[in-house]
Amino acid sequence: MQNLIEELNNKQKEAVLAVDGPCLVIAGAGSGKTKVLTHKIAYLISEKNVKPWNILAITFTNKAASEMKQRVENIVGNVAQEMWMGTFHSICVRILRKYIDRIGFDTSFLIFDTSDQKTIVKECLKTLNIDDKMFTDRSVLAEISNAKNEMLTPKAYQTKYAGEYRKEIIGKVYELYQKRLKENNAVDFDDIINYTIDILTNNPDVLQHYTDKFKYVLVDEYQDTNKAQFTLVSILASRYGNITVVGDNDQGIYSFRGADITNILNFEKDFPGTKIIKLEQNYRCTGNILKAANSVIKHNENKYEKKLWTENEEGALPCLYQAEDEYDEARYIVEQIEHLKTEEYFKPKDFVILYRMNAQSRAIEDILRREDIPYKVVGGVKFYERKEIKDAIAYLRLVQNPSDNISLKRIINEPKRGIGKTSLDNISQISDETGTSMYEIIKNAENYGLNRIKANSNEFINLIEDLRQKKETLSISELLKEVLNKSGYTKALENEQSVEAETRIQNLEEFLTVAMEFEEESADNSLAEFLESITLSSDIDGMEDEENSVTLMTLHSAKGLEFPAVFLVGMEEGIFPGYKSIGEPKELEEERRLFYVGITRAKRFLYLSYAKHRTIFGSTSYNAVSRFIKEIPEELLDANIQENDEDDFGELEFNWEYGRHNQAKVKTYTFDTEDKVDIKPRTTYQFRTAESFLNSLNQKKAQTEVDITKYKQGQRVYHKKFGEGTIQKIEPEEDDYKVDIEFDKAGHKRLMAKFAGLEIIE
């Protein structure tokens, strides 16, 4: 162990050896914080003789927890398996599985994901006769989540916002939403932590058990904690006070999820006697990239000021490119990828393209496909959100928990069983009135005068009952095979004889692989644990390290990752920083921290780009270069700016006028020199032509492969450009259909089914 301590730098060593009392480690990007955490845990076990089960280590992703546990195990051996290490949610679920009956739930409870939550909210809005256009499921859920992050119960929320019309309405939905969750014996993500706090607070025996157990508490990414997470950590560390938190106030970027950066800023106040240690030596980036990062972040107010430094080489200057439009920007990216593949022998997996909004990936994807460069998008339609996967999970959830009305309604007619919407509405109403689950009502349909439903659902009920008996003896993969075969789900897909059905079957086969991998890795191997592992997984957890492709993702998704070459695109006012943050100091500072995070993902090469004009969400905008670019000294940038365009760096006052590329309007810009400059929109026809050519090929392919009869009103679908939406209306049009879709972000669009490339997601 002494050799391991010696390999640390002085500040890292100081953080590892500070085992008694509260310790705040301000860890700059790439400064080895994971190394500090793993070595500190190993030091506690091997040198301080602390039992592994007396250590609690909390991270924010399953991937980070798995990596950390593996690294500790490499140092101290298999005893590391006895530690409690995981995400806030996974740690709390372990406690809830044992004690949730203290608050009226059965220990077979389910965790509802975002889709399930939306379903319940929609039902609540309907029950309460609330206009779902004024109160969308998305906005209501966001408000409920914010309330839970602030640890406000429905009653407390209603009291706090009495007299505020909109929030009074949401308070009623919140109350009914919680009632519906309990009827389904289910919790949502925010409940997991709050219910754990509730149990610890109101059950002295449980509190004593866990505060005695966890003699040492360590928390990673502390700047991302919210009020509930702070409260949980404070409770668990209350007996011994040996708490180490690692974080960076310059990388706090999740306020929209409820993260409260004051948790890290006030740590020494909340935990008197705190030892503060700063890790400022960066092992990831070259010198010039670090200089650029430092020059940007110094514009934020900073309580724990630090300046990253490195012993790495100075390296290449960050490159700045001014593109004509988003397609020119994409072509530039491809040129640099090809250059580094040739000159530096980089592989596709060495590159990441980061953007502020998912919609920015479209043009980049077009060019990457055209140039036959393999890529993956983190955060598109996720594997577990595909219809067939959600259906299979719903079967398993119903087997685990027959009180799950949401899952029952999803799969009672998958495949078709002749149980109509009217019948289901009737059953749902009886369930609401009696407090009996819909499954029990269907199972005993004759007692409710539902003889026809009994006949149509008999086979379904027998299947679920049979699987419930077998779930303790069959493996997860065997149980899943039984579900897919005996339900007739796979057979129904085979009978479709379509390309899409074949793809769905392949996805289900991949889901079997997921189940088998779980069986290999899990000691428990229970259905409950399998369902938890799926629900608690994240985009980043699903990234395959060995996959050799260029990565595309939002800046928020890139936290904690690093790549040899990073492209930061869309560096324009209104894009990054976004419109909403301009003029709001706190939000602007968070946007700047997000840019700082993006810069510090780069190990050797950093490329920054902005476009003179960009078409996004159907409109073309002419934006100035981002203020963040202007915060980097010119001598730190290798700028590729076209002649006579120096004014793009000047102070501009904008007439925010939007147009289309094919409109020949003249735009007027006002510069700080009070000169007037008339500029016609520049249209790069060669890129548009290439795009049109690609689209025509895709359309021809779509015409031969797409089954347009699969689309139905009310379906949730995904479109590559517009994102997720709901089909509102379908009209025949010769040999095609006009499909009216209300997209969550892009609004209403009318598309032709054959050419739209829509993917059904639920």
Active-site residue numbers?
A: 33-34, 220-221, 251, 601
> 3-state DSSP call for residue 217?
strand
> 3-state DSSP call for residue 343?
helix
In the numeric block, which tokens belong to residue 393? 């999970």
What are the residues whose beta carbons fall under 8 Å from the beta carbon of 188, sequence distance 6 or more? Answer: 111, 112, 116, 117, 181
Query: For residues 44 and 324, is the Cβ–Cβ distance under 8 A?
Result: no
| 429 backbone dihedrals φ, ψ, rounded to 5° | -65, -45
- How crowded is residue 681: how many other Cβ atoms within 10 Å of its Cβ? 18
Of 440, 436, 443, 387, which Cα lies nearest the Cα of 410? Answer: 387
Return d(Cα 390, Cα 761) in angstroms, integer.
Answer: 9
What's the count of helices (H) and strands (E) in the chain, helices before strands?
A: 30, 25
In the numeric block, which tokens belong to residue 674? 């009070």
Q: How far is CA 648 from CA 567, 574, 599, 614, 717, in A?
A: 20, 14, 22, 15, 40
> 3-state DSSP call for residue 336?
helix
Return d(Cα 276, Cα 233) in angstroms, integer.
Answer: 18
- Strands (E) in 622-706, as ranges, are 638-640, 652-653, 667-671, 676-679
Return d(Cα 136, Cα 154) in angstroms, integer.
Answer: 19
N-term to C-term CA, the chain: 52
- How crowded is residue 324: how many other Cβ atoms within 10 Å of its Cβ? 18
- Under DSSP, the state recorded for 151 is T
Q: Where are the alpha helices (DSSP H) in 346-450?
A: 361-370, 387-400, 405-411, 421-434, 438-443
Q: How far is CA 364 from the centre of its chain?
A: 21
Of 220, 221, 286, which Cα lies nearest the Cα of 600? Answer: 286
The Cβ-side half-sphere exposure at 451, using a 13 Å CA radius, reads 1
> 3-state DSSP call for residue 186?
strand
- Strands (E) in 340-474, as ranges, are 351-355, 375-377
The answer to whether the Cα torsion of 201, 93, 540, 724 is positive or negative is: negative
In the numeric block, which tokens belong to residue 86? 């995981």
CA angle 259, 262, 266 (to 5 degrees): 140
